[in-house]
Amino acid sequence: MSVYENSEQLYDTFKALIARMEDESPQAGDSMIKANLSVRIRCTEPTAVLFIDGRQRPLTITYDSTPSKPKLDIEASTDTLHQILLGNLPLMKALGRRKLRVKGPIFKAKALADLFYQMQHIYPQLTPTR
């Protein structure tokens, strides 16, 4: 069973995560902004869509829709995303093990790794317990 019961629980967790990150680490999205990177993360189990837009300041996240074509398109289970954000599964290892399926210029994932690194400091405090 997934750590998230439904997509709304995932979205609520990410909204709280982004709000805290903006307060505690406002520079967290700088590498995505420098790379002019937009990323769609399509999660499974439960189904959810996160669109992270770093093409301009401030970095924004859209939930359950894709307002424009992303430069990187990632598909993963919510449990894989959860493990990455807990710091239990390094992003590059997840890519190598094909737990993340990526379409687009894979070298741009480094900018996403910097954002995830910042998220890892806050996420464990917000994650649902099972």
Task: Give the range of the structural domain holding residue 109, as residue numbers without chain letter.
Answer: 7-123
* 129 located within any domain: no
Q: Of how many residues is the chain composed?
A: 130
CA nearest neighbour of 111 among 44, 55, 49, 50: 55
Which amino acid appears at position 112 of this protein?
L
* 130 located within any domain: no
* 2 located within any domain: no
* 14 located within any domain: yes
DSSP 40-60: EEEEETTTEEEEEE-SSSSPE
Give the pLDDT of residue 112: 85
Cα distances from 86 to residues 9, 31, 71, 116, 128, in angstroms, run: 17, 20, 25, 10, 12
Which pLDDT band, with edges at 50, 70 and 90, does 130 fall under? low
CA nearest neighbour of 73 among 45, 114, 43: 43
- Burial degree of 55 (CB within 10 A; 0-12, 13-18, 19+): middle
Instruction: Return mean pLDDT, the chain.
Output: 91
* 1 located within any domain: no
* 128 located within any domain: no
pTM for the model: 0.89
CB within 8 A of 64, min separation 6: which ones?
Answer: 7, 11, 48, 49
* 93 located within any domain: yes
Q: What is the CATH number of the domain that holds 32?
A: 3.30.1050.10
* 77 located within any domain: yes
Into how many domains does the chain fold? Answer: 1
Looking at the predicted structure, is the pLDDT value of residue 129 above 80?
A: no
